[in-house]
Structure 1
Amino acid sequence: MRSLHVADTNGTAFDIVVLGGGSGGYAAALRAAQLGKSVALIEADKVGGTCLHVGCVPTKALLHAAELADHARDGAHFGVHTTLDRIDMNGVNEYKATVIGRLYKGLQGLIKSRKITVFEGYGKLVAKDTVEVNGERVTGEYIVLGTGSYARSLPGLEIGGRVITSDQALQLDWVPKSVIVLGGGVIGSEFASVWKSFGADVTIIEALPHLIANEDESLSKAFERQFRKRGINFNLGVRFAGVTQDDNGVHVSLEDGKTFDADLLLVAVGRGPRTSGVGYEEQGITLDRGFVITDERLHTGVGNIYAVGDIVPGLQLAHRGFAQGIFVAEEIAGLKPAAIVESGIPRVTYSDPEVASVGLTEARAKEVHGADAVETLEYNLGGNGKSQILGTQGFVKLVRQKDGPVIGVHMIGARVGELIGEGQLIVNWEAYPEDVAALVHAHPTQNEALGEAHLALAGKPLHAHN
C-alpha cells in the first residue's frame, strides 16, 4: 500500500528518494521539500521510525510516569502527604499511546503539507538511482539511505518469552516484581530507573567497568552511587554466560559463577544497523559490521547516494539523525552546510538522576590535547537554589583547554537534560569561561548552575569555593 501523496505511474522519478522514514530520513525529506525538491519517502512501517514509536518518545513517557510515582511515594518530604496506590500499566500505556498519536498525526500533517510522496512498504536499493518497493521502481537523482536500527541481542541469546528487548518492554501491561537488565548503557539504565520507580527489584549486568560507560568517568561513578542509593543493584565488569526460562521466570548465570532469578530479562546491549537485505552491498556501498561508511559529508562514495542516522557509525541519537537529514538535504541543494562535529552533539540519559553532556570527556580531552593542557572544574548542585528546592543532588563538570575554550560540559542531577542546550552552544561556539561568566542567568533556576560553574572556572566564584 501507499499513502498520502501517491505516484500513479510505474518508475516515477523524483529529485530525491529517501529510504527510511525515521528521524534522519524524514528530516531529510522535510528539508529537501522545503528547498523545492520533489521527494519520495519510503517506509516499511510508520513514519517517525524507532524514536517516535518504540524509542525516545515512549520511553520518556514511561520515565515521566515513573517520576510521578516517585513524587507520590515521597511527597511527605515536601510536606505533601500522598500515597502510591498502584501502577496501572493500562493507564500508563494509554497515556503513552496518546502522546505518540499526537506527534505522529502532526508529522503526517507536515509530510502532507510539503507534498512528499510516501510509499509504504519494504524498499530495496536495486540500482544507484533506484529503490524498489512493492514491485514498483522509484528513481531519484539522489538517494538518501536512512533504514535505522534494531534492538541487538548477543550471539546465541534468543529473544522470546520472558527474554525481551526494549521493543517488548514498551508493550508490557504489567509491572514485573523483579527484572534483570543485561546492559548498563542508556537504554538499560532508563528501563532500570522506570521499573525501580514502579516498584520492581532491579539488577543490572554490565560487562564494562561502569554504567553509562561512554560518559565522563566522574559522572558514571556519581550515577552508580545514586542508583545504589535508590536500591538498584548492578554487577560491573562481568560477562553474561546464559539464561534459561520457565513458567516462574528467568534464571541468569554470569561467567564469574553468580546466578540470578527474576520475572524477566531485558536485553539492552545496544542497537544494530538495519542494513541487511536492502541491496546496499550489491550497489558497491561499503559496510563495516553492518554500518554504512561515509565521508564527513555523509556521502557513501557511490553515485549520488548519502546515508543518515543510526546506520552511520557514531552516536545513535534521534537528534543526530535530524541534524544529518537536514545537512544532507542542504548539501544536495548546494547550500554547502558546515560538516556536523560528532563531539558537539549533546547526549542525555533520562533516568533518575538524569545525565547530560556535550563535548569531550576529561579522559578524551587529555588524549587529544595532553594532560597538562586540560583544566576541569566541578560545581556541586548543593550550591544551587532550585536544585535544593527540587531535592536533587549532582554537579556540573566543565572541561576546558588551559587558557582556552570550554570543550566539555557534563552534568548529573534531576532535569539536567533541559540545561544541555546552553551547554552545546558553549562547546560548539568555543566559548571561554569568561564569556559565559559575563552572562546573567535567572535565579532561582537550575540553569544558574551552568553560570556559577563558569564563574568559578573564570576565577570569580559566587556560591562556590575557590
Structure 2
Amino acid sequence: MSSTKFDLIVVGSGPGGYVAAIRASQLGLKTAVVEAAELGGICLNWGCIPTKALLKSAQVFEYINHAADYGITVADASADFTGIVKRSRGVADGMSKGVTFLLKKNKIEVIKGWGKIQSGKKVEVTDSEDTKTVYSADNIIIATGARSRELPSMKIDKKKIIGYRDAMVLDKMPKKMVVVGSGAIGIEFAYFYATMGTEVTIVEFLDRIVPVEDAEVSKTLEKLYKKAGMTIMTSSEVTAVDTKGTGCKVTVKTAKGEETLECDIVLSAAGVVSNLENCGLEDVGILVEKGKIQVDEYYKTNMPGYYAIGDVVPGPALAHVASAEGIICVEKIAGQNPAPLDYGNIPGCTYCSPEIASVGMTEAKAKEAGYELRIGKFPFSASGKASAAGAKDGFVKLVFDKKYGELLGAHLIGANVTEMIAEIVAVRKLEITGHELIKTVHPHPTMSEAIMEAAAAAYDEVIHL
C-alpha cells in the first residue's frame, strides 16, 4: 500500500518538477510526484529533447547535401521523413525512461493522474479510471508547465493549423508551411522544415525575427535564412486562416496592405501559456496575476506550504530556469539558505543553424540603462577552427561597461555557440572584467577562442582581425 502522507508533493514532472523532487529526496524529504502524462514533461517528451533530435537529422541532411564542399561525393541522398520522426520519438522515449529510473533510484513515489491542490495542504489525484485519491504533504510545489498559446485568428485544429507538439509528428512533409512567430520554437521548426525541403514563410509581428536577441544577431539570421530560400515577413500579422479547401489561405496584414499566402500547414509558434486551469488554485486562494502564479524569491505563494516553479511563475519559460528554481525552492524548504536566482544571468539558446546563444543585456538595452559601452565583435570568418569546419557564418559580440569593465551581455551566432555560452554565464557570475577575459588563455584552434578575441577587440587588442 503506497503512502498518502509526504514531506513534499510535486505536481508536474517536467524539468522543474522532477529536478525539485530529486533534490528534495537528496535532502532527506519523503517526496512524491504527481503526473497526468509522461514523466519528464513537455521538455523531454514534446519539447527541448525531441526537437533537438529532429534538428540533428536536418543538420546531417544538410551536411550530406554539402558533402562536395569537404571533398566527399555522395549520390542521391534523400530524407526519410517518417524515419526522422521515429528517431526523434525514440530519443524522447529513452529520456523519459531515464527520468523514471532517476525517480525510482531516489525513492520518489510517482502518482499517475491529474493533480488538483486542495486547502489543508492536500492534493486530490484523479487516475485514468476516474478514481480520486487524496494525498497530503507539509509542502506542495506546483510545476504544471505551459502549452502552445492559441491566437484568436488561428484556432489550432491539429491538422492544418498546428502547434509545436503536432509539428514533431506530422505523417508527411508539407510542401508549403507558414510559421507564425519567430521566437526559438518558430525559428527551429522553420530551419528543420526548410532543410527537409518544405517551402517556408515566417511571419513575425515585430520588426525583426528572433526579436529578444541583439539586433545584429537578428539581421545576420535573416540574411542567412533568406539565402537558404525562406521568405521572411516582419511587422506582419496573420488576421485570418481559411482552411476550407485542400490547404490553407492565410491573410497577412503588412505595412503595405493585405496579402494572401497559400500553404498546406500553418504552424502557430506565438509563445506559450501557463497550465493553471483545473489545478485548484482558486479553491486554495493562491494569487494569480497576468496568467502567472505570484511567488517570492524562494517560490513561496501567498498561501503557506504552497510553492510554484517553472513556466507557471513570472520569468523566462525555459527548462534550465525551471530546474534552477526547483532546486532553490526545495533547498529553502529543507532549511538551507540558497542564494536567490539571478534572472539577469540566464542563458538563452536557439538551436537552428547557425545556432544562437545569448546572456545579459543587448547593446540597445545596455544603452537604454545608461551605460557607456565598449563593444567587442569577432566574426567566425576570422576563426581558424570555423574555416576548417566549414562554419564561417556568424560572430561573437560582447558588451562591456566602459567604466568598470563589467561584461553586461554576450550575443553569439554560429556553429555550436550553445555549447560556448556557459563560459560567459560563469565569468559573469564571477564578475570577471574584460581585461581578465582577454588574459584567460583559450585553446587553439577552437570556436571558443572567438570569445577571447571579441573581448580583445573591445579593448583594441585583437590579434586576428
Q: Report the TM-score when normalising by structure 1.
A: 0.95
d(CA) in 2 for partners of 1:189, 1:453? 26
Alignment of 1:162-173 (within 5 A): 162-173=160-171
One of 131, 151, 158 as aligned partner of 1:154: 151
d(CA) in 2 for partners of 1:272, 1:128? 28
Q: Which residue of 1 aligns with 2:299?
A: 298
One of 85, 89, 96 as aligned partner of 1:97: 89
Q: 1:7 corresponds to which letter in structure 2? A: S
Q: Which residue of 1 aligns with 2:139?
A: 142
Residues 418-452 of structure 1, C-alpha deviation per residue, up to 9 Å, x if partnerless? 11111111222221011111111111110111121
Deviation at 1:156, TM superposition (A): 4.7
Deviation at 1:390, TM superposition (A): 2.3
One of 45, 48, 51 as aligned partner of 1:59: 51
d(CA) in 1 for partners of 2:351, 2:362? 19
Q: Which residue of 1 aligns with 2:112?
A: 120
Answer yes or no: is the 8 Å Cα contact 2:377–2:457 preserved in 1: no
d(CA) in 2 for partners of 1:290, 1:83? 53
Q: Which residue of 2 aligns with 1:343?
A: 344
Q: Which residue of 1 aligns with 2:400?
A: 400
Deviation at 1:262, TM superposition (A): 0.7
Answer yes or no: is the 8 Å Cα contact 2:346–2:359 preserved in 1: yes
Q: Which residue of 1 aligns with 2:129?
A: none
d(CA) in 1 for partners of 2:373, 2:282? 43
d(CA) in 2 for partners of 1:83, 1:121? 51
d(CA) in 2 for partners of 1:376, 1:295? 35
Answer yes or no: is the 8 Å Cα contact 1:72–1:83 preserved in 2: no
What SS does the aligned partner of 2:117 have? strand
What SS does the aligned partner of 1:258 have? strand
Answer yes or no: is the 8 Å Cα contact 1:69–1:84 preserved in 2: no
Answer yes or no: is the 8 Å Cα contact 2:377–2:458 preserved in 1: no
Residues 160-182 of structure 1, C-alpha deviation per residue, up to 9 Å, x if partnerless? 12111111111113111110001
d(CA) in 2 for partners of 1:391, 1:156? 42
One of 207, 217, 237 as aligned partner of 1:219: 217
d(CA) in 1 for partners of 2:291, 2:135? 24
Q: 1:17 corresponds to which letter in structure 2? A: I
Task: Tell me, yes or no, if structure 1 residue 194 matches structure 2 residue 192.
Answer: yes
Alignment length, in residue pairs? Answer: 454
Deviation at 1:247, TM superposition (A): 4.9
Residues 98-136 of structure 1, C-alpha deviation per residue, up to 9 Å, x if partnerless? 212222222111100111011110000111511110211
Q: Report the TM-score when normalising by structure 2.
A: 0.95
Q: Which residue of 1 aligns with 2:235?
A: 237
d(CA) in 2 for partners of 1:216, 1:282? 43
Answer yes or no: is the 8 Å Cα contact 1:437–1:458 preserved in 2: no
Alignment of 1:261-272 (within 5 A): 261-272=262-273
d(CA) in 2 for partners of 1:401, 1:128? 50
The sequence identity of aligned pairs, in percent, is: 37
Answer yes or no: is the 8 Å Cα contact 1:72–1:84 preserved in 2: no
Q: Which residue of 2 aligns with 1:382?
A: 381
Task: Tell me, yes or no, if structure 1 residue 87 matches structure 2 residue 85.
Answer: no
Per the alignment, do residues 276 and 264 of structure 1 end up closer, same or farther by CA in structure 2, a change over 3 Å counting? same
Answer yes or no: is the 8 Å Cα contact 1:361–1:408 preserved in 2: yes
Deviation at 1:341, TM superposition (A): 1.1
d(CA) in 2 for partners of 1:128, 1:164? 40
Alignment of 1:308-323 (within 5 A): 308-323=309-324
d(CA) in 2 for partners of 1:156, 1:228? 26
Task: Tell me, yes or no, if structure 1 residue 13 matches structure 2 residue 5.
Answer: yes
Alignment of 1:200-211 (within 5 A): 200-211=198-209
